[in-house]
Structure 1
Amino acid sequence: MNSAQKTLLYPLVALIVGAYFLFTGLVDAKGFLAPLVTAIILALLLIPLANLMEGKLNRLFSSLLSTVLLLLFSFGVFILLSFQIKNFVDDWDKIKETMTPKIEQLQSYAYEHTALSSEDLEEYKKENDIKSMLTSGGNSGQQAFNFLNSVTSFLSNYLLTFIYIFFLLNYRRRFKIFILKLFSNQRKKQVKQIIDETARVAQFYLRGKLILIIILSILYSIGLGISGVNNYILIAVIASFLTLIPFIGNIIGMGLALIFGYLTQGETSILIGVILTFTLVQFIESYVLEPFIVGDKVDIHPFFVILAIILGNMIWGVMGMILAIPVLGILNVVFNHVPALEPFGYLLSTDEEKD
């Protein structure tokens, strides 16, 4: 191996090893980093509101009020969803009765047109029943404890996120000065520009997405309600929030609407209504709402959007998929303003003028 090959090999190996330990560390630190990163992104969203309130209130109270308003908004969403979920649970026996013939028809179709047989399905059911018995051990107390532990963990992270948001808003000037102090006087102007642009990207993207979710919830509710779908508000809100996950979210949302619309009620008119609703609303979202409300402020190539979503899911699950785009957009701002990292900014960007 000559010196040129060694010069190329060592950085490549270091990059691969570093990336492995980076992603492994991110997975292990999910409990600490996921609420913190979420709080940073949401705090950037609330900065304009906090600045507006500081005209009449001091920073402490403006930060606290901004955080409480966001907390109340999230409570409102949870309450709306909880009422819809309760209606869904109350109708479960009726839904199950309606779905059973559809599932049997699907099984019959699979038996006739594929190599799958009823014996294969029964064997699969038995294997999974045995596995579930082994994993649960028939210990309902352990299952209840695991459920309680999951709920407690979720509530802790949920409340901790808002505590982070308050402190990030209240001490945002201190954090900004701290970052500026890390650089020389000659580079402080450039660093300040990066910080301001980063905040603008996150604010523009998240504010646009929030408005988009509200509009989509209304449009989906109208379409699914006219189509005769039960629990249409729940399905509409979930489908709207799923748009936070690019590409995949719309597919999952439509799948949920078909399952809880057509399969649970079995009427062809509902099937047609669901398909028309999602086709029309997603057309409006892609060609009318998205360009004007969200725009192209987060200038990321679709290929790297997909990669970011996959990596986000591998690292932090659904939360990672939601955070992937704003985090990648922030990184792209840094790449485009640091000369040594401009090649990465060019690679991530969709700007054809650079080609």
Structure 2
Amino acid sequence: MKNTVQYPFYIRLSCTLLSIISIGYIFFIGESIIIPVLLAFLFAVLLLPIASFLNSKMRLPNAIAVSITVLFFVLSIMAILAFISYQISDIASDFEGIRKNINIFVSDIQGYIRTNFKVSLWEQKKYLEDVTENSVKKGKESIGTTLLSVTDIIMNLALIPIYIFLILLYRKHFVQFLIQLIRVEFHNTLSVILIQIKEAIQNYIIGLIIEMIVVSILTSIGLYFIGVQYYILLGIITGILNLIPYIGILIAGVLTFLASLTGTPDLSIIVGVIGVNVIVQLIDNNILVPLIINTKVQINAIVSIIGIIIGGAVAGVSGMFLAIPILAILKIIFDQIESLKPWGYLMSDNLPKNVVWEQQQAETEVSSDPIISNENDTIDENNAE
């Protein structure tokens, strides 16, 4: 029997913090490599039932089944992008109308500011020129960086289907590696963890797709009733951008606002656009997310928010998107390992009905009461006799 060395708390805490810092630093410097692999892993888990069906039920070779699965995924994404591009080309044809309505809208805003805040048109123009000049200078300085970033994003997007293909092709190989890596007595735990991770990721991404569809439909209906011209396109864009936590809906709101100017500069349309976005977000945050998303991952709000903020700081928008699935995977692992179960409980959204330490405190107070203690002593003596 092997002896286990129990280190003091401060040594264990130092090692834990050092490990967290090291893992975070590795993610930060290896973002361009790690993020596409993680995205590909999520999509591969989502597509796994299709590949398994083609392989086991249709009797296709594994490589062909995986190839068909990845091809189906790529064609689906391309079809969505083609539809959006076609609709955007229609909006671009109305660019002159948008520019004219923007000028009218800006003139109305300037008149409102001059009337209510006593700021002359010359002062407003001077301020806008100063802001524009500074923005142009900063824009020229960041053009090179932006081009490099766009190039990196395109390359990463091109690599994701390749990673998906390889992950699906070698999935059994990876599982066998984990089996050889983990000791035999923990194989049952490993099996439970892998099954739960697969189910959690599949349910989470399916939940996101359902949420995206519902948000797109609700936004399209709202924009249709207030008279926005490209209501279907803007609804779809809002649903897709809503997948990006916090900033996605803001970007969608700006795009919807600009597109609404194709028809009229009337302020009532703009107020209606804002109202539709606010109402859809209230429905999404208070009904769809608790009903569809939170039931799939079972992570409380504070952990989700902190994880999204950290993910955004480390890897930008991709990190924000990956934060919830990674937290769900960590929670599953924590729940299956005895020493890490408190951390899994901390991440869960199950509120306890009674607090354990309050019960213990009540029991301690009862036992310390002299009257009750004497009665208990008398009962014990009578029982002894």
| TM-score interval, normalised by the smaller of the two chains | 0.7 to 0.9
Cα deviation digits, residues 33-80 of structure 1 (max 9, x gap): 111000001111111222222211232222111111111111011111
Q: Take 1:100 and 1:176, find their aligned partners in 2: how far apart are those partners? A: 61
Q: 2:130 aligns with which of 123, 136, 140?
A: 123
Matched-pair contact (CA < 8 Å) for 1:102–1:263: no
Q: Residue 63 of structure 2 is aligned with which of 45, 52, 60?
A: 60
Q: Does 1:92 align with 2:92?
A: no
* Change in 2 beyond 3 A, CA 1:52/1:129: closer
Residues 268, 128 of structure 1: CA spacing in aligned structure 2 closer, same or farther, 3 A cutoff?
closer
- CA gap of 1:318–1:271, structure 2 versus 1, over 3 A, is same
Backbone CA RMSD of aligned residues: 3.1
Give, in angstroms, the shift of residue 330 of structure 1: 1.2
Compute the displacement of 1:286 (Å). Answer: 4.5
| Distance in 1 (alpha carbons) for counterparts of 2:14 and 2:183 | 32
Tell me the residue number matched to 2:30: 29
Matching residue of 1:326: 325
1:71-220 to 2 correspondences below 5 Å: 71-107=74-110, 113=117, 118=124, 119-133=126-140, 135=141, 147=147, 150=149, 152-220=151-219
**Contact 1:84 1:233 (C-alpha < 8 Å) held by counterparts:** no
The amino acid across from 1:208 in the alignment is G
**Greater RCO, CA 8 A, separation 6+:** 1
Q: What is the CA–CA distance in structure 2 between the aligned matches of 1:83 and 1:283, rounded to whole Å?
A: 30
Q: How far apart are the structure 1 equivalents of 2:323 and 2:335? A: 18
Q: Is the alpha carbon distance of 1:311 and 1:102 closer, same or farther for their aligned partners in structure 2, counting shifts above 3 Å?
A: same
Structure 2: gaps spanning 5 or more residues:
1-7, 356-385
Deviation at 1:266, TM superposition (A): 2.1
Question: Deviation digits for residues 315-345 of structure 1, max 9, x if unmatched?
Answer: 1111111111111111111111111111211
Q: Is the 8 A contact 2:200 2:297 kept in 1?
A: yes
**Which segment is superposed worse, 179-188 or 153-162?**
153-162
Q: Which moved more, 1:296-305 or 1:100-109?
A: 100-109
- Whether 2:239 is the aligned partner of 1:232: answer no
Conserved? CA contact 1:96–1:264, under 8 Å: no
* Farther off after superposition, 46-55 or 186-195: 46-55
Contact in 2 for aligned 1:99/1:263 (Cα 8 Å)? no
Equivalence map 1:298-317=2 (5 Å): 298-317=297-316
Number of residue pairs the alignment of both structures matches: 342
Say if 1:198 and 1:330, in contact at 8 Å, map to a contact too.
yes
* Pair 101,347 (structure 1): closer, same or farther in 2 beyond 3 Å: same
The 8 Å contact of residues 99 and 265 in structure 1, kept in 2 or not, is answered as no
Distance in 2 (CA, whole Å) between partners of 1:21 and 1:104 is 54
1:189 Cα shift?
Answer: 0.4
Q: Which deviations, in whole Å up to 9, do the C-alpha atoms of 1:190-221 show, x marking residues without a partner?
A: 11100100110000010121122123223322
Q: Secondary structure at the match of 2:297?
A: coil
Residues 312 and 8 of structure 1, relative CA distance in 2, 3 Å threshold: same
Deviates more, 1:337-346 or 1:100-109: 100-109
Inter-CA distance 17–352: structure 2 relative to 1 (3 Å threshold): same
Residue type at the aligned position of 1:89: A
Q: Which residue of 1 aligns with 2:367?
A: none
Distance 1:102 1:263, change over 3 A: farther
What SS does structure 1 have at the residue aligned with 2:158?
helix
1:302 is matched by which residue type in structure 2? Answer: A
SS at match of 1:296: helix
| Letter of the 2:191 counterpart | K
Q: Is the 8 A contact 1:180 1:192 kept in 2?
A: no
- SS of the aligned residue for 2:298 comes to coil
**Cα distance in 2 for residues equivalent to 1:52 and 1:204:** 18
Give secondary structure in 1 for the equivalent of 2:28. Answer: helix
Q: One-letter code of the match for 1:36?
A: V
Larger radius of gyration: 2
TM-score, normalised by the number of residues in structure 2: 0.78
Give the SS at the match of 2:242: helix
Q: What amino acid maps onto 2:99 in structure 1?
A: K
For residues 63 and 115 of structure 1, the distance between their equivalents in structure 2, rounded to whole angstroms, comes to: 65
Report the secondary structure of 1:353's partner residue: coil
TM-score, length-normalised on structure 1? 0.84
1:304 & 1:260 partners in 2: Cα distance? Answer: 36
Residue identity opposite 1:100 in structure 2: N
Quote the Cα distance in structure 1 between the aligned partners of 2:345 and 2:70.
Answer: 36
- Overall identity of the aligned pairs, in %: 29
2:221 is matched with 222
